[in-house]
Amino acid sequence: MEQTRENKMGVMPVNKLLISMSLPMIISMLVQALYNVVDSIFVAKLSEDALTAVSLAFPMQNLMIAVASGIGVGMNALLSRALGQKNTDAANKAAVNGILLEGIGYIISLIMGLTIVRAFYIAQSASPEITDMGVEYLSISLIFSFGIFGQFTFERLLQSTGKTLYSMFTQLTGAIINIVLDPILIFGLVGAPKMGIAGAAVATVIGQIIAAIFAFILNKTKNKEIHVDMRNIIKPDIKIIKTILSVGIPSMIMQAIGSIMTFGMNKILIVFSSTAVAVIGVYFKLQSFVFMPIFGLNNGMVPIVSYNYGAEKKDRLLKTIRLSICYAVGIMLLGFTLIQLFPDKMLLLFDASDHMLSIGIPALRIISLSFIFAGASVILSSTFQSLGNGLLSMFISVARQLVVLLPVAYILSRFGNVNLVWWAFPIAEIAAICMSVAFYIYMYNKVIRPLGKTE
């Protein structure tokens, strides 16, 4: 029985396997996107300044998630590859050392929450009201972030053994709790205290903590392929830690670069108005409905590619990549079409003023042009990670967001027209897809082509 479970990623028909592993993650990611948007919809009812405060928090929140996710990616890739090689001892050690690294990541987040939040807001906004609300919101998110670190850890362990359905349950649990608690804690419903913007943060961390506990329980009761002995956490394996970080750090940097990019865009846009900053914040919330399913697809794809790379099954590996790209491009085109047709209705979800609509409608339509190119680029970047070369993914992310997007946005902003700034997004995505294709050709010739086994 254990052997059958172990070989699921090496024997099940690829399309069925990819769908069965990705669909639960796509559903849970969509719910995650929903609660991100619901968060901002309720906060927007407090005031546009409150919405701006939440938007300005995004770079720091994204940095925290980058650390948690990056460690999870490195642990997942190593663990899945070990299972593909039938090396259960290496898989168990990867799990233990991954848990240790996630704990260290939380300590870093805690320190940031206690020390630099106010300075972070002052660097972005001259408004004392926005700063005070933002400090209240972000401090809670960082200080109590042990929930999100635990959630990433134990969900990745489930995903690495193909149990994405259980991972979906934990993510849905956290998201639904957040959605229910948001209006209760923000507006003081059903006898709860009226906490305002702090209520949104409290609702988020409560959802994350409960999801982490649920994921831990599922690992203990359902994930028989991995046997985590927490006593071994005091005996870290430096070689395994280096292997996890060799994949995880590029992933962290990729997402952390997103924080730098967003911080830079906020600095560029605040020159025009705080409304422009609110618009980019709303865009990031809305685009999560398009990108979150792609990330769910990635979460299903990465262990399949890693497993079949370890098992040297070239045909299955290539078919997984091709199908993932097709699905990703389809999702992106659907998102592009919806944003082109209904930008005003999407902005009105956030109580957009006439001024916000005048900035936001052209912004959404221009930025969404980047979706046409982004689907294939995201999948190829994840492919490099699953093959053990996260550096290539990092190079693409650096080029897209720091070498192209921010400089182009700054140059275009000098013309004094905020509508020109939005063109930096599709320009950067064109550069990214060109690099992705070039790197894939390199990886195919160096890593994939030499694999000998076919179905």
What CA–CA distance (Å, rounded) separates 406 from 39? 27
pLDDT at 452: 65
pLDDT at 232: 65
pLDDT tens digit string along 377-396? Answer: 999 998 988 887 878 888 89
Residue 324 pLDDT level (bands cut at 50, 70, 90):
very high
Average pLDDT, the chain: 88
* For range 437-446, the mean pLDDT: 93
Alpha-helix runs per DSSP H in 188-313: 197-222, 238-270, 274-310
Stated pTM of the model: 0.74
- Residue 347's nearest CA partner among 327, 332, 362 is 362
Residue 257: pLDDT over 70: yes
Residue 2 pLDDT level (bands cut at 50, 70, 90):
very low
pLDDT tens digit string along 56-104? Answer: 888 898 889 889 988 988 888 788 778 777 787 878 888 888 889 999 9
pLDDT tens digit string along 339-365? Answer: 999 999 999 988 888 999 999 999 999
pLDDT tens digit string along 274-301? Answer: 899 989 989 988 988 888 889 889 878 8
pLDDT tens digit string along 408-417? Answer: 999 999 999 9
Residues contacting residue 76 through CB under 8 Å, at least 6 positions apart: 156, 159, 160, 302, 303, 306
Report the range of poorest mean pLDDT among 28-37, 143-152, 373-382: 28-37
Residue 5: pLDDT over 50: no
Report the range of poorest mean pLDDT among 232-246, 312-326, 357-371: 232-246
Each residue of 179-200: b (16+ CB within 10 Å) or e?
bebbbbbbeeeeeeeebbbbbb
Per cent of the chain over pLDDT 90 is: 45
